[in-house]
Amino acid sequence: MDILTLVQNRHSYRGLYKADPVPREDLTAILTAGLAAPSGCNQQTTRLLAIDEPQLLAKLREVLKKPSLCSAPALICVLTNPREAYPGHCFARQDYAAAIENMLLAIVALGYQSCWYEGYLTNEDQISRQMAQLLKVPPPYELVCVLPVGEAAASPAAPPAKLPFDQRAWFNRLPSQGLVK
Amino acid sequence: MDILTLVQNRHSYRGLYKADPVPREDLTAILTAGLAAPSGCNQQTTRLLAIDEPQLLAKLREVLKKPSLCSAPALICVLTNPREAYPGHCFARQDYAAAIENMLLAIVALGYQSCWYEGYLTNEDQISRQMAQLLKVPPPYELVCVLPVGEAAASPAAPPAKLPFDQRAWFNRLPSQGLVK
């Protein structure tokens, strides 16, 4: 599948996953795609931890709670070291976001589904900290996102509507009436 | 080219570009790939402005200065609205980073080169603000990145070394000796 089709075929999947394990070969390919993303000043601030061991998944599911996340046969935890690339400038968030996008594309290309769970983890109930404790994530690394990986057990829901191209992209001149927020 | 190969073939290109214009069809495909990226709570905080008009490129080059950037026949400016998706949580940086990664992959897939210029613009000399003024970017939008697009005029330099897989990704357990920073 070419990249232009692939980016259109990637949507957040929030349904249940089949229990079938994801082969290590596929998980390795997905992680490798994540690590190939660029990083500010090549600082490589992102680390990845894939979970596919049933006992460990069971422990994480007690914390994760959401049925979709809890049904996934594999989870990829995204860790970041939020340090400055040079004084006053930290690109760690951009770094892990680019790595996540690469992994989401690789996941879909390999026939699996996923969803970028970040706010759900970093909200007030601090699921991310509970996960980090359970997985012994050493400071200064922070666990900021989890990607479920597995085959869809249900038909994906229709993707949410997006603004049309001409309200988000232009050539040479921005629209004189201002930009939609 | 499959996505697993494509992510490995994408490298930051800092050489000169050929003057040949990039067809609008290709620029549109690249922008479309950017807009297809996910965004936190589907807030679509990213806007894109492609520049291919010679007079406007000439004005931007006075500000951009770097020979590589100044030789590109097209520039994609990335704008963000850094607003909260919900109280206390802004995902705008992740949103535009995912859009940039999609565009970098599309650029390479279409036979062009690029480089993620962000720190260069947002550093103390505030090139991004000068560009935003020139392009009449309305607040609260901020210009945060520029991607040159064009065919390479020189052989790309060897990509910078990255840490090996086993120092950045693991299965189920993080290494007991801690993580390389």
pLDDT recorded at residue A151: 98
* Candidate from A29, A140, A181 with C-beta closest to B81: A181
pLDDT recorded at residue B181: 72
Chain B CB contacts of A177 below 8 Å: none
pLDDT digits (tens, 9 = 90+) for B117-137: 999 999 988 999 999 999 999
Of the pLDDT bands very low, low, confident and very high (cuts 50, 70, 90), residue A143 is very high
Closest CA to A17 of A90, A113, A83: A113
Q: Which helix (H) or strand (E) holds B64?
A: helix B54-64
pLDDT recorded at residue A125: 84
pLDDT digits (tens, 9 = 90+) for B88-124: 999 999 999 999 999 999 999 999 999 999 999 999 8
**A178 within some domain:** no
Average pLDDT, chain A: 96
> What is the nearest CA distance from B97 to chain A, expressed in angstroms?
5
Overall average pLDDT of the A106-117 stretch: 98
Chain A CB contacts of B140 below 8 Å: 181
pLDDT digits (tens, 9 = 90+) for A74-101: 999 999 999 999 999 999 999 999 999 9
Q: What is the pTM of this model?
A: 0.98
pLDDT recorded at residue A181: 72
Closest CA to A146 of A44, A38, A45, A74: A74
**A44 within some domain:** yes
Chain A CB contacts of B22 below 8 Å: none
Q: B132 touching A, CB under 8 A?
A: no
- Could you say which residues from 42 to 71 on chain A have a Cβ atom under 8 Å away from some Cβ of chain B? 42, 44, 46-53, 56
Overall average pLDDT of the B158-180 stretch: 94
**A179 within some domain:** no
Q: B4 touching A, CB under 8 A?
A: yes
Q: With an 8 Å Cβ cutoff, are A44 and B100 in contact?
A: no
pLDDT recorded at residue A161: 94
**A155 within some domain:** yes
Overall average pLDDT of the B143-150 stretch: 98
- Judged on CB neighbours under 10 Å (0-12, 13-18, 19+), A43 is middle
Which carries the bigger pLDDT value, residue A156 or residue A55? A55
**B77 within some domain:** yes
Cis bond leading into B87, ω under 30°?
Answer: no
Contact B130, B63 (CB under 8 A): yes
Q: Is the pLDDT of residue B152 over 80?
A: yes
**B103 within some domain:** yes
Residue B9 sits in a domain whose CATH number is 3.40.109.10
Sequential DSSP letters for chain A? --HHHHHHH-----S-B-SPPPPHHHHHHHHHHHHTS--GGG---EEEEEE--HHHHHHHHHHH--HHHHH-SEEEEEEE----SBTTB--HHHHHHHHHHHHHHHHHHTT-B---B-HHHHSTT-HHHHHHHHTTPPTT-EEEEEEEEB-BSSPPPPPPP---GGGTEEESS--TT----
pLDDT recorded at residue B156: 87
Tally of domains within chain B: 1
Chain B CB contacts of A44 below 8 Å: 162-163, 168
Q: A73 touching B, CB under 8 A?
A: no
B123 is written with which tokens? 């550093």
What distance in Å separates the CA atoms of residue B85 and residue B39, rounded to the nearest whole number? 10
Closest CA to A14 of B91, B93, B32, B41: B41
Structural domain harbouring A50: 14-167
pLDDT recorded at residue B125: 84
Query: Which residues, 6+ apart, have CB-to-CB distance to A44 below 8 Å?
Result: A35, A95, B162, B163, B168
Which carries the bigger pLDDT value, residue A180 or residue A146? A146
What distance in Å separates the CA atoms of residue B108 and residue B151, rounded to the nearest whole number? 10
pLDDT digits (tens, 9 = 90+) for A12-42: 999 999 999 999 999 999 999 999 999 999 9
Query: Which residues, 6+ apart, have CB-to-CB distance to B37 below 8 Å?
Result: A7, A101, B46, B95, B98, B99, B101, B102
Q: With an 8 Å Cβ cutoff, are B31 and A165 in contact?
A: yes
Contact B50, B31 (CB under 8 A): yes
* Candidate from A2, A102, A171 with C-beta closest to B7: A102
What distance in Å separates the CA atoms of residue A163 and residue B46, rounded to the nearest whole number? 11
State the greatest distance between any 2 C-alpha atoms of chain A, in Å, as a whole number.
58
Q: Is the pLDDT of residue A180 over 90?
A: no
pLDDT digits (tens, 9 = 90+) for B6-40: 999 999 999 999 999 999 999 999 999 999 999 99
Among residues of chain B, what percentage have pLDDT more than 70? Answer: 100
**A175 within some domain:** no
Tell me the ipTM for this assembly.
0.97
Of the pLDDT bands very low, low, confident and very high (cuts 50, 70, 90), residue A124 is confident
Q: Which helix (H) or strand (E) holds B77?
A: strand B74-80
Closest CA to A134 of B166, B171, B172: B172
Judged by DSSP in three states, B113 sits in strand
**B172 within some domain:** no
pLDDT recorded at residue B19: 98
What distance in Å separates the CA atoms of residue B101 and residue A40, rounded to the nearest whole number? 13
Chain B CB contacts of A28 below 8 Å: 165
Q: With an 8 Å Cβ cutoff, are A141 and B116 in contact?
A: no
Query: Which residues, 6+ apart, have CB-to-CB distance to B120 below 8 Å?
Result: B66, B127
Chain B CB contacts of A179 below 8 Å: 47, 79, 81, 138, 141
